[in-house]
Amino acid sequence: MTPPTDTVEIAASTPDQPQPYAELGLKDDEYAKVREILGRRPTDSELAMYSVMWSEHCSYKSSKVHLRQFGENPPRSDAMLVGMGENAGVVDVGDGLAVTFKVESHNHPSYVEPYQGAATGVGGIVRDILTMGARPVAVMDSLRFGEADAADTKRLVSGVVAGVGGYGNCLGLPNIGGEVGFDPTYAGNPLVNALCVGVLPHSRLQLARAEGAGNLVVLIGALTGRDGIGGASVLASATFDEEGVTKRPSVQVGDPFAEKILIECCLELFDRGLVTGIQDLGAAGLSCAFAETAAHGDGGMTVDLDKVPLREASMVPVEILMSESQERMLAIVAPEHVDEALALCQKWGALATVVGEVTDGDRLVISWHGETIVDVDPGSLADDGPVYHRPFARPDTEQDALAADSSAKLPRPSTGDELRATLLQLVASPELCSRRWVTEQYDRYVIGGTVLAMPHDGGMIRLGDETTRGVALSLDGNSRFARLDPHAGAQLNLAEAFRNVACTGARPLAVSDCLNFGSPEDPAVMWQFAEATRGLAEACRELGTPVTGGNVSFYNQTGSTAINPTPVIGVLGVIDDVAKRVPSGFTAPGRQIVLLGETADELDGSAWAWVVHRHLGGTPPAVRLDAERALAGLLAEAADRRLLSSAHDLSEGGLAQALVEACLIGGVGARVELDGDAFVGLFSESAARAVVSTADAEAVLALATRHGVPARAVGETGGDALAVDGQFAIDLAQLREVFEATLPALFG
């Protein structure tokens, strides 16, 4: 016998009834505040809604005060059409076209159930992009796992990669790049960050608002089931304990075929002007969609919850409100359009049901078989959640010890043979080896607009058949630098993504970030977060690239061990003519190789220190944003003048890794000459550098001078080996074998 449904009437008459708010993740004072707002105890349904909407995942209660920096005093940019706060930022790219992009995490579900966690991570970010009125056109992913050879890593890598691929491939979205990293701190806390980019004509821009009294609230897409109940509050907003794996029922299950239909259906609804507002259903499901659209509209909303089509008839209101079933959208439709909208949904085979109405009041009122079970101010759910000024403090002892522990004391290779062996060790390491095992599981061709994809530095897509215009994207998140210095680390990640986009020939325009950290309740973690956001906001101003949106993922820790702080930064750039794109690999023999930027002895936090010595300490490379901007300006102009045959950024693994990749991508060897210390020249990770090949070195050097970028011709492409004069030569065949063998050997 199920207990009777808790109504507003019952709640008003039973003020002292104990409620399970703590189990739902609400703190004592938060529960007290809910009672204060309502002037009574919440009903079961209201309690559930407040608990998810005020969860860390939905309310950003710990991060809000820091994220404000991105919105206040943003860099000057004429390109922003929609800034932070909507489902995704929208950037003008010219010709009446706009682009929207965002990166989001699905970390906790992916640990519990790797395939579905990763798959629905892709599905969720794709719906965010669709919600803006855009056609999703590409995805990328940034993944982190524990040590590559650790016990649980194979299960997670295999499941996550298959999930990202399974969903994106079936949805018909090319995966054009991303990154994979391994570090012991991610054992038990893998990171799955997915980015989606979409394209829209300015006129199709949609906003998540319920406006116009009398307009109808239409739920489109999949049936609502018991999957994912409480995902946001249970999984994403608390630290894993040993029972982590028992939370499996909280993970959503994805159906990419249903999402593909939903995309086509919604785009046609937009094009025919049949909706006045649209919101995707993601974290917190209907609770969030009702609350946010009502809060941001011009009135209130009434909902008949019993009209929601269910997968299981026995579901109770709390479950329906909390369900995170995938592939659903909430549309606001004027009454005169509703028949046409419903018929269109039927044509696509998408279920569509009128479940409510926009009112001229200011309350969100939800009924269940005629009885009122929710009666709240929607703003109190969506916007007036708690805001925490969490204490943060630099853990001086630990951080000082880390900074003092420089890599300078580590033994360095010096002879040609030693340098050769070091290079081969690095190239074969899980940190730097070929990602082909991963990226071959992703369709990079579908839609037919992919101009560059992995293994190139950045992905690039043409925006349509009728235009030469394209966008380039890169996603980067070096967590070792961020561990040593979160402020500099976040800036270096931004700089790397910015540089990667510049290397493709595009002009970097905007940023989306996914900030992955440990528990915000730990002042040391909160210090990392505060430092990283401060650093990022400053660097965005310097580089003129505003943050358009993103996501924060806290509680990435098991017990007291937090992950390395991992601010993953996505940069989007624009190129007027994709035919002028610059690949990362050498394309032909006989080209001059030019090294751009300055190399210093900067090996703290480097791939070399970690791979060869398992050492992490010291100070990350100097952040040189002026130099990054100059380098990007040079690369853009050189690409536009078609001076570059290839361009590869220098980052993890330094010049050595860049040369190896450039040789192997194009199947063209190279001979280079290094001045100064060969070890530093090959393996230092100084920022603001790139290596290019050109048929006109003179012009590139002259252009570099004009842009104030230090440049030096260092060698020539050709042959079937990578040769460093006076040091060593390695056959490309051997290099390729070593580079390609690692991940297949580990993961099958």
Whether the Cβ atoms of residue 317 and residue 305 lie closer than 8 Å to each other = yes
Q: Does 378 bind another protein (CB under 8 A)?
A: no
Identify which range of 162-170, 206-214, 618-626, 671-679 contacts another protein by CB under 8 A: 162-170
Identify the residue among 54, 70, 111, 442 touching another protein (CB under 8 A).
Answer: 442
Nearest Cα residue to 400 out of 253, 578, 233, 617: 617
Residues in Cβ contact with 64 at an 8 Å cutoff, skipping those fewer than 6 apart:
387
| Interface with another protein (CB under 8 A), residue from 209, 444, 480, 707 | 444
Q: Are 655 and 681 in contact (CB under 8 A)?
A: yes
Residue number, 256 or 546, with CB nearest to another protein = 256
Q: Between β-strands 277-280 and 670-672, what pairing exists: parallel, antiparallel or unpaired?
A: unpaired
> Of the residues 66, 106, 456, 487, which is catalytic?
106
- Cα–Cα dist 175/374, whole Å: 42
Smallest gap from residue 451 Cβ to another protein (A) = 6
Report the residue from 10, 35, 172, 542 that binds another protein according to the rule CB under 8 A: 172
Please report whether residue 390 would count as binding another protein according to CB under 8 A: no
Q: How far apart are CA 48 and CA 87, in angstroms?
A: 23
Rounded to a whole number of angstroms, the minimum distance from the CB of residue 581 to another protein is 8
**CA 724 and chain centroid, separation:** 37
Q: Using an 8 Å Cβ cutoff, are 492 and 687 in contact?
A: yes
Is position 682 an interface residue for another protein (rule: CB under 8 A)?
no
Specify the length of the chain in residues: 748
Within positions 689 to 728, which residues make up the interface with another protein, using CB under 8 A?
none
Is 106 among the catalytic positions?
Answer: yes
Tokens of 622: 């100097």
Does the footprint of another protein cover residue 243 (CB under 8 A)? no
Residues 6+ apart with CB under 8 A from 185: 146, 479, 561, 562, 563, 564
Shortest distance, position 171 Cβ to another protein, whole Å: 8
Q: How far is the CB of 579 from another protein (least distance, A)?
A: 6
Burial class of 541 by CB neighbour count within 10 A (0 to 12, 13 to 18, 19+): middle
Backbone angles phi, psi at 712, to 5 degrees: -150, 130
Closer of 174 and 653 to another protein (Cβ):
174
**Whole-number minimum distance, CB 698 to another protein, in Å?**
28
- Kindly state whether residue 233 participates in binding another protein, applying the rule CB under 8 A: no
Of these, 14, 17, 94, 445, which contacts another protein (CB under 8 A)?
445
Per-position DSSP letters for 319-352, written without gaps between them: HHHH---SSEEEEEE-GGGHHHHHHHHHHHT--E
Say which amino acid occupies 575. Answer: I
Q: Is 147 exposed, middle or buried (0-12, 13-18, 19+ CB in 10 A)?
A: middle
Determine the Cα–Cα distance for residues 250 and 743; give it in Å rounded to an integer: 31
The DSSP 8-state label assigned to residue 277 in this structure reads E
Assess 257 for contact with another protein (CB under 8 A).
yes
Should residue 439 be labelled a site residue for another protein when binding is judged by CB under 8 A? yes
The answer to whether 617 touches 406, Cβ cutoff 8 Å, is: yes
Task: Report residue 553: phi and psi, to 5°.
Answer: -125, 110
The least distance separating another protein from the CB of residue 612, rounded to whole angstroms, comes to 31
User: Measured from the CB atom, is 361 or 445 closer to another protein?
Assistant: 445
Q: Which tokens sit at 47?
A: 């309690």
- Catalytically annotated residue among 57, 337, 487, 648: 57
Residue of the chain from 36, 465, 466, 675 that contacts another protein (CB under 8 A): 465
Q: Is 162 one of the binding residues for another protein (CB under 8 A)?
A: yes
Using the rule CB under 8 A, is 170 a contact of another protein? yes
Tell me which of 194, 208, 426, 451 binds another protein, using CB under 8 A.
451
Binding segment toward another protein, per CB under 8 A, in 5-13, 96-104, 257-265, 372-380: 257-265
Q: Is residue 446 part of the contact set for another protein (CB under 8 A)? A: yes
Comparing CB distances to another protein, the nearer of 35 and 260 is: 260
Stretch near another protein under the rule CB under 8 A, chosen from 29-37, 282-290, 444-452, 721-729: 444-452
In this chain, which of 46, 255, 457, 531 binds another protein, going by CB under 8 A?
255
166 binds another protein (CB under 8 A): yes
DSSP, res 6: P
Q: Which of these segments, 95-103, 418-426, 435-443, 597-605, binds another protein (CB under 8 A)? A: 435-443
Q: Is 349 in the site for another protein (CB under 8 A)?
A: yes
The whole-angstrom separation of Cα 488 and Cα 619 is 9
Number of residues that bind another protein (CB under 8 A): 32
Structure tokens at 513: 């970030």
Least separation in angstroms between CB 441 and another protein: 5
- The Cα–Cα gap between 382 and 128 comes to 17
In the block, residue with structure tokens 């944003």: 625
198 counts as binding another protein under rule CB under 8 A: no
Contact call for residues 695 and 645 (beta carbons, < 8 A): yes
Nearer to another protein, 599 or 645 (CB): 645
Q: Is 524 in the site for another protein (CB under 8 A)?
A: no
Distance CA 184, CA 678 (A): 31
Q: Pick the binder of another protein from 449, 546, 653, 669 (CB under 8 A).
A: 449
CB 694 within 8 A of CB 582: no
Comparing CA positions, the residue from 609, 606, 525, 603 lying closest to residue 567 is 525
> One-letter amino acid identity for 211?
E
Residue pair 583/662 in contact by the 8 Å Cβ criterion: no
Which residue type sits at 442? Y
337 is catalytic: no
Q: Which of 10, 351, 403, 447 binds another protein (CB under 8 A)?
A: 447
- For the bound state, the minimum distance from the C-beta of residue 299 to another protein, rounded and expressed in Å, comes to 37
- Residues between 261 and 290 with contacts to another protein, criterion CB under 8 A: 261
Binding-site member from 150, 348, 363, 399 for another protein (CB under 8 A): 348
Q: What is the contact mask toward another protein in residues 572 to 591, using x (rule: CB under 8 A)?
A: ------xx------------
Nearer to another protein, 85 or 748 (CB): 748
The answer to whether 212 contacts another protein (rule: CB under 8 A) is no
Sole binder of another protein in the list 51, 189, 323, 450 (CB under 8 A): 450
The smaller minimum CB distance to another protein, of residues 215 and 326, is found at 326
Strands 690-694 and 592-596 turn out to be: antiparallel
Measure the CA–CA gap between 142 and 212, rounded to whole angstroms.
Answer: 40
Q: Is the dihedral of CA 431, 432, 437, 440 positive or negative?
A: positive
- From the list 198, 256, 385, 508, which residue makes contact with another protein (rule: CB under 8 A)? 256
Q: What residues line the site for another protein (CB under 8 A)?
A: 162, 165-166, 169-172, 255-258, 260-261, 348-349, 439-451, 462, 465, 578-579
Provide the annotated active-site residues.
Answer: 57, 106
